[in-house]
Amino acid sequence: MRPKSGLPKRKALRRMPKFTYGFRDNPETKAYRHPTLQPGASVPQEWPTVLSFFSGCGGMDLGFLGGFKFLGQLYEALPLRIVHAYDNNEKAVETYKLNIADDASVVDLSTADLTAFPAVDILCGGFPCQDFSSCGHKLGLKGHRGELYTVMRDYMRIHQPKIVVGENVPHLERMHGGEVLRKIQSELEEVGYRFKLWRMCCPDYGLPQSRTRLFFVGVRNDLPGFPEMPTITQILGRVTIDDAINDLVRVEDESVPNQSQYFVATKATAGAGQGDQKSEAGQLAYTVRANSKARVHFHYSLDRRLTVRESARLQSFPDEFVFPHATSANIMEIGNAVPPIIGHHVAKAITDYFHQKLTVVRPIKSQTSLVGAAER
Ligand SMILES: C[S@@+](CC[C@H](N)C(=O)[O-])C[C@H]1O[C@@H](n2cnc3c(N)ncnc32)[C@H](O)[C@@H]1O
């Protein structure tokens, strides 16, 4: 089929992408990346500690740390320390280590001995959502992956972190008339917490993609107050798909990492936003999904599906955050991720709460000498 753009038809990258740097050691990110990603830097002991469950490639974790740029905007580094991250997917952990930190392990959390895990201030985890997703088999709590919130509950019972942030798909609210959600929330509350649900429509916070996520935010019962849900940032309008990826239209090589990587596919068809559809310029992108190539939408002006980099942009990953695997594994990691800018809004609300209600956490701006020290 002749490309509508008039540009020559492209072949997908068959080789594995190769990179000199991940986000954590790219010279371009050095001036602003998080202090814990600076070689040799030490951070103040009073910064709250975080443990990351079901960390995937680290979308939520990058958001929690902050210190990255997306579409020219700096998302400031936040006063938090991620102690360790856990996921059972080897490739996702490789991506995490390449871009964020070595403190990540391949672990099946459903069988792990949680008593041996470190105690921290904040537990976060996007527990797997396939059994709750509107596109999945909707097994709910009967599905093996639907039970994994119990790992977070068990950690909470043993180690009693001050704050808990769980993340899932909005469909969870509607399953079995809300029964699934009530059961999860009551089990999490039974171990000594009170929870609120934050339903975040991601385009309201600058994501160029139609995506809503449900955050379970919990505070230990003996602690005062509650974090404030982040306020909407996009009062003046939303960021569209072409705002986010139009500069990549003529980039066919790896001068922008992962931009030559995409699924070869026949042509776009009409659908219900579930894949095989052509994106529309001037609109939000369809939801970036974690599974097969048929879920990756077509470009709005080119005769091909979106590339790995374009998908990563739509999820708000900075271009320095690289994906080292084959297209399918990379798309899986990207589609599974909490968009970093959304994780950042949530984490900012949590650090503000810590600062105001729990401990005096010095704001990160007063830590610039620390970054400077690392650079020297
Ligand atoms: C929705 S994704 C989380 C993505 C992550 N929060 C991010 O922002 O990149 C769920 C993750 O749970 C992991 N997972 C599924 N079952 C697991 C298990 N039994 N133990 C550990 N990790 C598991 C999957 O590999 C997947 O990366």
Dihedral sign for Cα atoms in the order 111, 114, 116, 122: positive
Residue 201: inside a domain: yes
What is the per-residue pLDDT across 153-164, written as a single tens digit (0 to 9) for each?
A: 999 999 999 999
For the entire predicted model, the pTM comes to 0.90
What is the per-residue pLDDT across 324-341, written as a single tens digit (0 to 9) for each?
A: 999 999 999 999 999 999
pLDDT at 11: 60
Centre of ligand 1 to C-alpha 336, Å, is 8
pLDDT at 127: 86
Centre of ligand 1 to C-alpha 10, Å, is 33
Q: Which atom of ligand 1 is nearest to the CA of 148?
A: 19
DSSP code string of 314-353: HTT--TTS---S-HHHHHHHHHHSPPHHHHHHHHHHHHHH
- Whether ligand 1 lies within 6 angstroms of the CB of 59 is answered as yes
Structural domain harbouring 193: 33-236+338-364
What residues have CB less than 8 Å from 138, skipping those under 6 apart?
131, 132, 171, 175
With pLDDT > 90 as the criterion, what percentage of the chain qualifies?
A: 68
| Three-class SS state of 58 | coil
Residue 308: inside a domain: no
pLDDT at 134: 56
How many structural domains comprise the chain? 1
Residue 180: inside a domain: yes
> Is 256's pLDDT higher than 60?
yes
Backbone angles phi, psi at 217, to 5 degrees: -110, 125
Among 14-23, 112-121, 138-147, 186-195, the range scoring the smallest mean pLDDT is: 138-147
Residue 357: inside a domain: yes
- Whether ligand 1 lies within 6 angstroms of the CB of 338 is answered as yes
Residue with tokens 């990160």: 364
What residues have CB less than 8 Å from 287, skipping those under 6 apart?
209, 210, 211, 273
| CATH code of the domain covering residue 57 | 3.40.50.150
What is the per-residue pLDDT across 128-175, written as a single tens digit (0 to 9) for each?
A: 866 555 555 555 556 555 589 999 999 999 999 999 999 998 888 888
- Whether ligand 1 lies within 6 angstroms of the CB of 56 is answered as yes
Residue with tokens 């997703």: 133
Residue 175: inside a domain: yes
Residue 87: inside a domain: yes
d(CA 22, CA 321): 6
pLDDT at 370: 36
Residue 278: inside a domain: no
Q: Which atom of ligand 1 is nearest to the CA of 111?
A: 19
Helix axes 327-336, 90-99, angle to 10 degrees: 80
Residue 320: inside a domain: no
* Confidence band, pLDDT 50/70/90 cuts, at residue 104: very high
